[in-house]
A and B are shown apart, each in its own frame.
Chain A
C-alpha cells in the first residue's frame, strides 16, 4: 500500500501562496509574486505527475482488476451530529488524477505566461494571488471526497472566476461581465444545492465513495416517490445537472461565458477554457454511476442539452468577429460535445465508451483550447485589439504563435494524428451507438468547428497587413515557452491509450479507432477547412454573399440568437416589474414602516417621560414620600388580611 497523504500539499501550496502573496505581495517587487506563484505551481505539477505515475503504474489494482478509489486524506471538518458531518479530504481515482494533471499543467503554463503577459499591469500581485486562490479551489473541487466539499469549492471557483473576470475593475463592461457570470452561475448553483439535498436525503450520505458504489445506498433508494412521472432520484440528478450546466455554460445558462472574456486572456485560458468550465462535465462524470444506473432520464437530459449546446454555439461561433468570443463559443460547443458523450454512455466495459470519450476530450481539449487562448493572448498583446478585422498577415510577424495556433486549430478540427482527432472520434463512435440523429448533429458540429477555427486562423494570419501602431513582434520567452509546451501537448495527448486508464467502472479496456466513423469525421473536418480556405484565404466577397443569402438566420446567429435579449426581457420587464417592485414596496412601506413606527413610539414616550426629570428637589421628595406612604398602606392591607 502506498501512502498518498502527501497529496494534501497539492492543495495547501496554492492556499499558502494565496495568503502570502495576497497579504505581503505589496512589500516586494511585482515580479516576486509572479515567480513565487509560478514556482509553487511547478512543485504542484511535479507532485501531480508523481501521484499519477504511482497511482497508475505502481499501486496494485483492486481484486477485480479495476483502479481503486482511494481516500488519501479525510478530515472530519464540520461535525454536526454523529450521522451528519461534512468532511474535507482528497479522493484519488482515475478522473480526479486526470483532472489534477490537467489543472496543474495548464495552471503552471498560464502562470508562466502571465509573468510576460501581465507585465507592468496595475494589480500584478492581485492577479497572481487570485490565480493561486483559483488553483486551490479548482483542485479542492476535483479531489473532493464528498459532494458537500465539492459544493464549497464549487462556490470558491465561482468567486475566483468573478474576481478575475472583474480584474480590470475600472472598466464598466468588465464589472458587469463579472457580475453576470457570478449571478448566472449562482442561480444554477441553487439547483445544484437542491439536488445535493435531495440526493443526500434519500441516500443518507454525502460521501462519494458510498454514493457511487453500485451496491450502495444511493442505488436502492429514492425511487419510491414520483413527481410528474419522474422519481426523486431522477429529479435530484436533473437539479445537480442544472448546477453543472451553469458552470459549464450549457444552453440556456451559457450567456455569461462570452462576456467572461472581458477578463485578462490568461484567465480565459485557464478558467474559461480548460478547467473551471469543465467542472460541470466532471460533476456528471463523478456521479456517473447514479446517472447511468438510477436516473437514465436525467442522463438523456444531459445528452440533449449537450448536443443542442454544441451545435448552437458552433453556429454562433461562425458569425462572431471578436477572436476571444469565437473561442468562447468554441469552448461551449466542445463542452457540449463532452456532455453529449456522457449522455450517450452506458455503465461498464465497452458500454461506457462515451464516458471515456468525454474524459478523453476534456483532457485533450484542455491542451489545445488553452493553447488557442494563450496564442490569442499573444496576438492581442502584439496588435492591441480583439477584433479580427484589425488583424491580418501576422504569420510573418509572429512565427511561433502562428505555428502553435495552427497546431491547435488542426487539433480541434480533428485532423489525425493530433489530439482532437482521437477524442472526437471516440465521442462520435459512442454517439453512433446510441442515436443516429444526434450522431449526425455532432458530425455537423465537427465540420463547423473546423470551419470557424480556420476562419479565425486565416483572418488573423493571412490576408493583408493592417495599419498597426507598431510592427507586431513575438513576445518574451515566458509567453512563447508555454505556447510551445502546450503545442507539444496538443500534438501528443491523443496518443495516450486513454481507455486503459479512465473508464466508467475504472476497469481498463481496449478501444479502437473505427474507420467507418473516423474517415467521415476527418472528411467533414477537411471539408470545413477547405470551405474556410475558399472563404477567407484571400479577401473575397463570398462570406458576405453567404451571410446575406442566409438572411434572417445569419443575422440571428450574429446577434447570438437573441438569448441575452430574452434574458433581459424576462428580468427587466417581468421579474423587476411584477416581483421585485412589489417586494421593494413591501420592504419600504411595511418592513421599514414597522421599524420606524417602533422608533417613533419610543421617541415620543421618552419625550413625554423626561418631564419627570424636573430638577426640582422637593418634587422628587414628594414622589418618594408618596411612594413610601402608598407602599406602607399596601403592605398594611396585605398584612392584616
Chain B
C-alpha cells in the first residue's frame, strides 16, 4: 500500500556516485556468491564422489570414471550382508546410546555445582576439568589398559569405554557449566523460597531450562562414541564381536581391498546416521560449538 502511495514521489535521478555504489554492490554480490559456490563445491564434492563410487560395479570403481555406468544399488545390500556388519551397528548403538545417557546423568550435577555453588576450590576444580578435557587419551592408556584388562578382565568388550562415562565427562561438564552459568540466579532463589532443596531445584527448575545445553552435550557425546577409533582399537580389537562401526570400517577395507565400491558404500552407511542426526538437531549442535568456543 505505502509503496503505491509513494510511487508518484519519484526520487531524483541517481547521481554518478550512487550509480557506482549500486554497481559495486551488485559486483560484490556476484563475487561473494561465486566464492560461496566454489567453497560449497569443495565441501560437497567429496561426498558426491563417495556416493557415486559406492554405486559403481567393482570393475568400474577401479577406473577413472566419475559417473556409474550401471547403478548398483545391490552394493548396499552386500555391505549389510557382510558378516559382522550388523553386530558393529549394535555395538556402536550400545556404546553411543548407553554412554550418552550415563554421561548426561553423571555430568549434570557436577556442572550445576560448578556453575551455581560457592565453595573453596571451585576455580581449581574447573581448571582440573579443563585439563582433563585437553588430555590426549593416549597419555594414561597404559595404566588404564592394565587396569581394565589385567585387573578386571574386561578386554575384548566395550565396557572399559562405557563404564567411565558414569563418572562425569570433562568436556560435557565444561559445556554444561558454561550453559548453566547463563541461567539467572533469581530462578534458583525463587525455587528455594518455595522450599525446594538443591536437588529439587536442579530437577524441577534448572533441568527444564537447560534442555538446549543437555541436547548439545548428548549430541557431542553420541558423535564422540560413534567416531571413536582409539578406544575400540585398544580394548575391543581382539574380539570382532565387540567392534564398533568406526573400527570395523577399516578392517572392512582390508577384507575388500580392491572393492572400492563396497568400501565406499560402507563409508556412506557409517556417515549417514551422523548427518541425519545433525539435520534433526542442527540448532542445538551449533549452539554447543559456540558455547565452548566463545563465551568464557
Is chain B found bound to chain A in the same assembly? Answer: no
User: B-side interface residues toward A, CB under 8 Å?
Assistant: none
User: A-side interface residues toward B, CB under 8 Å?
Assistant: none
